A and B are shown apart, each in its own frame.
Chain A
Amino acid sequence: MSEPLVTYLPFKAGLPPMGTYLRSLLKRRAFISEFARSELRNQNYGSVFGQLWLVLNPLLLSAVYFLLIYVIGGSSDSTRFAHLTASLFLFYLVANSLTGGVKAITSGQRLILNTSFPRIMLPLSAVVIAFLKFLPTLVVAFVIHAVVGLSYSWQMLWAIPILTIALLLATGLAILFSCINVYFRDISSILPYLTRSLLYLSPILYEASSVSDSIKQFQIVNPIFYLLDSWSRVMVHAQAPELFSLVHAFSFAFMIFVIGTYFFLSRERDFAVRL
């Protein structure tokens, strides 16, 4: 008799055979793009006005925050506005991945209970969706940069590795939280408070240099502090980022990605019985 194509054995916490897993993930990559496309079309981003809203929404949001800074701080200039928008856009890339990812598994219940596929495709799709929503805001950031009359330099190419780190972090967070949410369903309701706190604890409404010394020592534990700081330096001030900032951002992103992926992959076969 021939060898079986597949054998199903009892669940043990531990990584699945990675070669096979990656191969079947790669084979289904079309799912991720198709899913993202359908989802965006569904949220009305297929229409012209929908796409306009995609740009308008973060722009209005930054206008509101700008007003807030102006009212509270009294001082505001156009560079400040450019910093605010650029940072806010990157922040929303991470935050949208997180909020989209957290429910990726629990809302994919029907698919999970009826099809066998690498479950990690679902949180990955959430990141792709967040990224597609981020792209038009990137254009807006450049337009603002030009309108405000900020300088350009080759150092701005640093934006590419920084964006890559941001995506790594976003992916890690989406994967980690989608997994946690299977076991603790209330995480998704706590999440808005977490992202909101993160927003205020990061150099978005203010610049990193203006943080008082007594609080400065805590920024090292904020995974996105140095990421956003580097982003603003590069995108707004057209300066090279500090090496320490890059290393910090990458270390956090990498750590969260590895931890999240490990948890996810070792538990994913167990998801179906818990939904």
Chain B
Amino acid sequence: MISLSDFKHEHPKASIAVSIKELGLTYKTSIEKKPTLKARIKTLGRGKKHTRIVRAVDGISLDIHYGSVLGVIGSNGAGKSTLMRVISGIIPPTEGRVDVYGSVSTLLALGVGFNPSMTGRENVYLGGLAAGMTEAEIDENFEAIADFSELGESIDAPMRTYSSGMYARLAFSVAAIVEPDILIIDEALSTGDAKFKEKSLNRVKELRSADRALILVSHALATIEDVCNEVIWLNKGKLMARGNPAEVIAEYQKFMNVRKSASSDEDV
């Protein structure tokens, strides 16, 4: 379990930040909504376990280098968030291995908003402390975070009173101000309003540097094409394509359209 403040290494450009080898991840969830003792006792006699198996990541090998901005695209449920969680060490892989050469921060990863009855301020502190920052480090950055989020007085209101955009603003601000070696932003770019979107995009561009690796997960293809210098496309847990943003995005769009027209053909 590494923490954000442990490592502030200098990374030579193009050295490897994350190396993923033959990674597979299978979710095993019970059919019942929640696993309970009652349900377990009920199925005891029948011997058969009611589990749904989801292969969320399927044999992905990938190297991510410092200095690169990697875009991750794919349809809903493609396994993007799952892959990000494995890279940040939140979920252990089912098979394969992941080597990480730096400190990782996942956006939303700072666990911001984990307790909705607490204020934004308390959540920022708790999320930061859980991620391994010291109180002094958070104190130091808090003003900048609050400013960036433009939440004003709402920062001291309980987070259950926040709109989803306000949530995303705070989460993005935390991740963008704290400067980790490897920054993963999962879907938080697209929830803010137009002005904040622009601002966060600019911040991402600012964060691009030779000794940092950025990973952006988004459905906003234009944004991805704009900021990333490499894109991977995931589909049903598999790596479909990797390379030049324009090409991969074009391929992805073609694939989506083909499937769409195929299904609409069936309707006829």
A contact residues vs B (CB 8 Å cutoff): 1-2, 4-11, 20-21, 24, 27-28, 30-31, 34-35, 38-39, 42, 108-118, 121, 183-187, 190, 269-270, 272-274
Tell me, yes or no, whether B88 is within 8 Å of chain A by CB. yes
Q: Which residues of A contact B3 (CB under 8 A)?
A: 24, 27-28, 117
The answer on a CB contact under 8 Å between B130 and A183 is no
Contact of B90 among A9, A20, A35, A112 (CB under 8 A): A112
Minimum Cβ distance to chain B for residue A105 (Å) = 12
The answer on a CB contact under 8 Å between B1 and A272 is no
Minimum Cβ distance to chain B for residue A103 (Å) = 12
Known contacts A5-B102, A113-B90; A184 and B37 CB within 8 A of each other? yes
CA A269 – CA B1 in complex, angstroms? Answer: 11
Q: Is the interface of B mostly helix, strand, loop or mixed?
A: loop
CA A7 – CA B34 in complex, angstroms? Answer: 31
Contact of A111 among B86, B98, B111, B134 (CB under 8 A): B111
Tell me, yes or no, whether B75 is within 8 Å of chain A by CB. no
The answer on a CB contact under 8 Å between B35 and A111 is no
The answer on a CB contact under 8 Å between B2 and A5 is yes
Contact of A272 among B91, B113, B118 (CB under 8 A): B91
CA A24 – CA B2 in complex, angstroms? Answer: 8
Tell me, yes or no, whether B100 is within 8 Å of chain A by CB. yes
Minimum Cβ distance to chain B for residue A100 (Å) = 13
Nearest first, the 7 closest Cβ-Cβ pairs linking A and B are A4-B99, A111-B114, A31-B129, A111-B111, A11-B92, A184-B37, A110-B114
The answer on a CB contact under 8 Å between A4 and B38 is no
29 contacts between A and B (CB under 8 A): A2-B101, A5-B2, A5-B7, A5-B101, A7-B97, A7-B99, A9-B97, A10-B96, A11-B94, A27-B132, A28-B3, A30-B129, A31-B129, A35-B126, A38-B125, A110-B113, A110-B114, A111-B111, A112-B90, A113-B90, A114-B106, A115-B88, A115-B127, A115-B131, A117-B1, A183-B35, A184-B35, A185-B36, A186-B37
Interface string of B69-97 (1 = CB under 8 A from A): 00000000000000001101111111111
Tell me, yes or no, whether B117 is within 8 Å of chain A by CB. yes
Interface string of B104-118 (1 = CB under 8 A from A): 001011110111011
The answer on a CB contact under 8 Å between A24 and B132 is yes
